Chains A and B, each alone.
Chain A
């Protein structure tokens, strides 16, 4: 079995940060290699939860649309677009707050955290 994408990205990140970037330190290429390594670390974080988050976002949007009596389209992006349209149209403060609570939850779950750079 091959490594999953998050483990592969993490390994590539470490190779960039510990082998390539130090060898090119002080140059444009070295800075580029360090940024690539840092970005790969974030990609590794993201890949570890991507599929689960997409499903949770899609299901959460569907539930909010159904609760409002709105049509529930197929597909993650279509559901988020429909939820955006519902938020734009609704004048109910409680519904607005529930949709914004959902946005807070999905954006917090999607956050990635770079390590501090000394």
Chain B
């Protein structure tokens, strides 16, 4: 059965009226999901919609239920997200496990290799980026059905570190000495715990929000790694130099880090412990390496020929190997 026919059947059942699907078109990018936009017409009214479903291989091993639940937790709040409509965990309806959500029209992501991707609205975009991140962390964690018990605040760091170490233990095709040196430093220097746990986006950075022509952020996307944990995980990942568009110290190539943190604190009400943030910034590089190492394994084993996975296993892997080595050397000085 075609994807269009599957969507028509699923949407007709959901809306209780016949739905016609047209204009199905796949987006490029985002190797964690196959993403398509299409129009759904019912009773003379047409809505732009988006299908996200699992590819045969993925950059990130995730549960589509997690992403759907995260959208549900924030739809209708100060955090702009599409409305989640249909979740299919088994693939029986959509042909592969995935979900359907509303389209946010007239917005696009900034290209992560594009210098000044948000010009001439960079300052405005940076302020929104970190204010919205603050709103995410201010949300009651009970609003998000994470599918797993919340970790104790003191256990957040160890849970993430063990997660990435296990991924690399399973997927590495070489010795990865810089990654393991990073893991050991993190294990020997645990951060102070957060006062409580928060909803963590898990991949909050330039490229995962959509901006309109006037510089307004219209949607935060790619919630597949959302979980409950320490909000500094998101702050550190958002400020990682990989996402700075060639302007280190300016997340997303937008505003400087001090301004970014000020916007985040104002919106979230969270305290900022510099020792904890330092730990999470090292963790961000270890996390990045783990993701890129796993993507390389998918390619090496022939499970993926997605060029985004191939690119990640080369450029971004080398980037984080280099920054993590330099960071660890600085910490040992």
Which A residues are closer than 8 A to B by beta carbons?
27-28, 30-32, 35-36, 38-39, 42-43, 46, 77, 80-81, 83-84, 87-88, 93, 96-97, 100-101, 103-104, 106-108, 110-112, 114, 116-118
In the complex, A110→B325 CA distance in Å?
12
> Which of B41-49, B171-179, B192-200 lies at the interface?
B171-179
Closest to B29 in A: A31
A-B contact pairs, 5 of them (CB 8 A): A35-B307, A46-B314, A84-B181, A87-B181, A97-B329
Query: Beyond A46-B314, A114-B315, A116-B113, is A28–B180 a contact (Cβ under 8 Å)?
Result: no
Task: Evaluate contact between A39 and B307: CB separation under 8 angstroms.
Answer: yes
Residue numbers in A under 8 Å from B177 (CB-CB): 80-81, 83-84, 87, 103
Q: Is the interface of B mostly helix, strand, loop or mixed?
A: helix
For the complex formed, measure the closest distance between the CB of B287 and the CB atoms of chain A, giving whole angstroms. Answer: 17
Closest to A79 in B: B175
For the complex formed, measure the closest distance between the CB of B27 and the CB atoms of chain A, giving whole angstroms. Answer: 7
Task: Evaluate contact between B28 and A35: CB separation under 8 angstroms.
Answer: yes
> Which of B122-130, B137-145, B231-239, B316-324 lies at the interface?
B316-324
Query: Beyond A28-B27, A114-B315, is A80–B325 a contact (Cβ under 8 Å)?
Result: no
In the complex, A101→B328 CA distance in Å?
10
Quick one: which of A28, A88, A110 contacts B26, CB cutoff 8 A? Answer: A28
Task: Evaluate contact between A100 and B181: CB separation under 8 angstroms.
Answer: yes
Instruction: List the 3 shortest-distance A-B pairs measured between CB atoms, nearest first.
Output: A31-B28, A84-B177, A81-B175
Residue numbers in B under 8 Å from A104 (CB-CB): 322, 325-326, 329
Task: Please name 9 further chain A to chain B contacts, defined as beta carbons within 8 Å, in addition to the given A35-B307, A39-B314, A100-B181, sorted by A numbering.
Answer: A28-B26, A32-B307, A80-B175, A83-B177, A88-B184, A97-B329, A110-B318, A110-B322, A114-B315
